[in-house]
Structure 1
């Protein structure tokens, strides 16, 4: 309870702000504030910023006065656009294919589960994103106010797994797509490296390039998707019903519903990062609506198309052979084969545009390394983004033959822990804080909560997730009671956390004081 700072709190003392302004206007960050360097690496990063516009800013808070300006309608539209672009990418098609192929759901069942699952996950992420303009903080710095100093680092580690995992999936889908277009002449490894390089360039340059890239990259993707609908749509299976009945069918529907919710939930632990340069005057409901709308519209456009392809391959031997041989990438190429060379060109566009999904995750991962604290915070963000790209590219190359199993298991784990943290954050804000925060103490271990209540609720919520998970590697005792198994990890972990956290937090405040 003393006034001394923890060594990790050098986050502020070693990165004093410069007086320059830093805002986003029409997707452009104007005059990014550069921290005063304390070592050779930071001086090097500042030189890159001055020469080439590489963002040098790390995880320190962006003060209100440095973001002050008037918001226009175009700014909210831009916010919607970047979220739409980040989610309307070919890798999301894999999630759509899983409905008919893995869970045996018909077209209608798959679409309904995907629709409402995506909306649920998007609303949760939209809530977290509102803290960006409100605080000027990165997402997992906001998490310290609920989780406490040390437990919040658990969230950082889990988010690193998310971002690196998405990076490897994006590279893998892009690599498979480019290889399939080339008829196997280009190896999947080369395709993975191409997507990783595009991701590295934009993520390393930082927020300015990120916003500009996302502002335009959605357009060619959407054009290709509409072409694909015209070419492949007639082959979708709209008649075959879902397989199974009773508890088995209910379990498959529930599992797919929560799997599709896990996709947008994966953005929650980084969602404030992409809008923290917006002014404090940004309407909270505007941020919420633009985030939820952008994620939902972007994901549904591509995932519905994936559901259609998944239903069609069960009746189309050519599609089935392509999918079984080389996965989703070959399936997309096969569906565009009637267009011959132009169809291959369209597939190349989809492969390259997958970087729109990998870039924001790589950007957030670089910040997460700094948020681990200690000496890691002194290593500039561009170095961490480079390291992240190398890591997920290597893992993608090693796991290139196991895409579907990686995707299913990875997405579900995301949903389990993020919903636990989001539940505690909402209860903390509306029950205990009533909207009152001091955002200037984000790096003060002596003033932030200890996190005993949050850690206890997190453990209880995770126990609920384990008992109710339905994965290829493990089926929980509760999950196995429904049909052949049903993944109830998300709703049960949410409920158990919601029950445990309020009394635990009340006791923490009463006996510990913060």
Structure 2
């Protein structure tokens, strides 16, 4: 719920916020009228509805929401009476949602970093397993805030960082989600190039992946949850196939040649990268729980989210560890992988799986795995854009989705030939800032709020909390 909405509700009006149908009606204006104007509530902010460009866009978004459910007010707090009843299917979604988004070609490529750093197979696998679960636990805690408050993740962190510092968090989160989407586009483009035997350039593949992700992320949370609930199964089967067909060639005997500070440095670097991959979901985790009942068991949310992020991420990365170690025993695979411009993961998959037609089919499915991840990233990036400032909230979410789409393509095209360097630098950075974010949010919850959501003044106290939390966050940093 925005600052203006809280302020209006707390002191200037006893009228409760409009329900969703009333909001849709309020957001709809006659675009053919001339001279008509008036103020209506949109995203918790009073905006002037006239014949202007933004008013027409909001009207279009309201119509799309009624017909397609595209969420015309995505950042507005979901009140308890707007939630959906808890079912066994929705409980499984808490885990399967993340499995679909993390078990992808990007995680598989990250598994090659242990080989690139000179670590042996055992070291790489242990790091991928435990660092993924640790990062998943960070995201799992943040996920518990969604159902309890009805707020998206960046909206929740207003209580921890304060009103104005939180705008910086929104900007950082947007950069993070766009960067992850760019990684997904690059890996998908690499796979498409291999499937087409080089007739489809990586650049074209990047655009194709980005467009597919754009279409799905536009439709809103409900459709995303349904899609991600089932998509994971195909990718679990794919990685089982990869393990079974390449495991016999894995090099589990050659020890690492690194010693001393070099070994410690590379181990810590890989831990930071793998941990950052799982922990990076912390800044969006609660976005996908706002439709759950406020009484949802938070321990269940934490456990299912932690396992849903940590184990699938580790599965994809460990598959990469196994395949990369096999390069020591298969010179023909190594020649394919190191062919210019290097890191030819798509062609490597095509070579190591057989028959050839089956390998191409697996690659096509792995292309779609990038779409699974990008859907979540693009959706959350657009929501964060709306929280930069109140004027930004007046711009419909689908417009921000298109703008993020353009930036994603630009970044992916720029880094398409340096995938592993991109992953190493980007994921290391994510681990640092997501840990800082988690520490501040957790400290606010357990120290200052005593671990009790009743101490969050969701209905009447946000203006006071803005001043209190902003001062605390700045003085304690």
TM over 0.5: yes
CA contact (8 A) 1:107 1:307 kept: yes
Q: CA deviation at 1:372?
A: 0.4
Instruction: Report the counterpart of residue 341 of structure 1 in structure 2.
Output: 357
Q: CA deviation at 1:68?
A: 6.0
Total equivalences in the alignment: 439
CA distance in 2, matches of 1:218, 1:321: 31
2:66 aligned residue (32, 50, 65) = 50
CA distance in 1, matches of 2:272, 2:251: 23
CA distance in 1, matches of 2:100, 2:73: 24
CA spacing shift, 1:18–1:374, aligned 2, 3 Å: closer
Instruction: Report the counterpart of residue 437 of structure 1 in structure 2.
Output: 456
Instruction: Report the counterpart of residue 510 of structure 1 in structure 2.
Output: none
State the Cα deviation string for residues 439-463 of structure 1 (Å, max 9, x = none). 23586377443524423544xxxxx
Which consecutive residues of structure 1, in runs of 5 or more, have no partner in the other structure?
22-31, 459-514
**Deviating more after overlay: 318-327 vs 281-290:** 318-327
CA contact (8 A) 1:11 1:60 kept: no
Instruction: Report the counterpart of residue 353 of structure 1 in structure 2.
Output: 369
After superposing on structure 2, the runs of 4+ consecutive aligned residues of structure 1 that deviate more than 4 Å are 5-13, 32-35, 445-448
Correspondence list, 1:253-264, <5 A: 253-264=267-278
Instruction: Report the counterpart of residue 296 of structure 2 in structure 1.
Output: 282
Q: Does 1:96 align with 2:111?
A: yes
CA contact (8 A) 2:134 2:310 kept: no
CA contact (8 A) 2:136 2:310 kept: yes
CA spacing shift, 1:355–1:11, aligned 2, 3 Å: farther
State the Cα deviation string for residues 296-345 of structure 1 (Å, max 9, x = none). 12111111101111212244222223322352323322322x32111111
Q: Does 1:139 align with 2:161?
A: no
Q: TM-score, normalised by structure 2?
A: 0.87
CA spacing shift, 1:124–1:194, aligned 2, 3 Å: same
State the Cα deviation string for residues 368-406 of structure 1 (Å, max 9, x = none). 110101311011111111221121012211221121111
Q: Does 1:74 align with 2:64?
A: no
Q: Which has the higher contact order (CA 8 A, sep 6+)?
A: 2
Correspondence list, 1:380-459, <5 A: 380-434=396-450, 435=452, 436-440=455-459, 444=463, 447-458=466-477
State the Cα deviation string for residues 197-216 of structure 1 (Å, max 9, x = none). 11001100011221111012
Q: Secondary structure at the match of 1:331?
A: helix
CA spacing shift, 1:256–1:8, aligned 2, 3 Å: same
CA distance in 1, matches of 2:4, 2:148: 26
Q: TM-score, normalised by structure 1?
A: 0.81
Q: Secondary structure at the match of 1:277?
A: coil
CA spacing shift, 1:76–1:68, aligned 2, 3 Å: closer
CA distance in 1, matches of 2:216, 2:91: 22
State the Cα deviation string for residues 20-57 of structure 1 (Å, max 9, x = none). 49xxxxxxxxxx97483242221110111223332222
CA contact (8 A) 2:243 2:322 kept: no
1:105 aligned residue (110, 115, 119) = 119
Which consecutive residues of structure 2, in runs of 5 or more, have no partner in the other structure?
28-39, 41-54
Please give the root-mean-square deviation of Cα atoms over the aligned residues, in Å.
2.4
CA spacing shift, 1:221–1:292, aligned 2, 3 Å: same
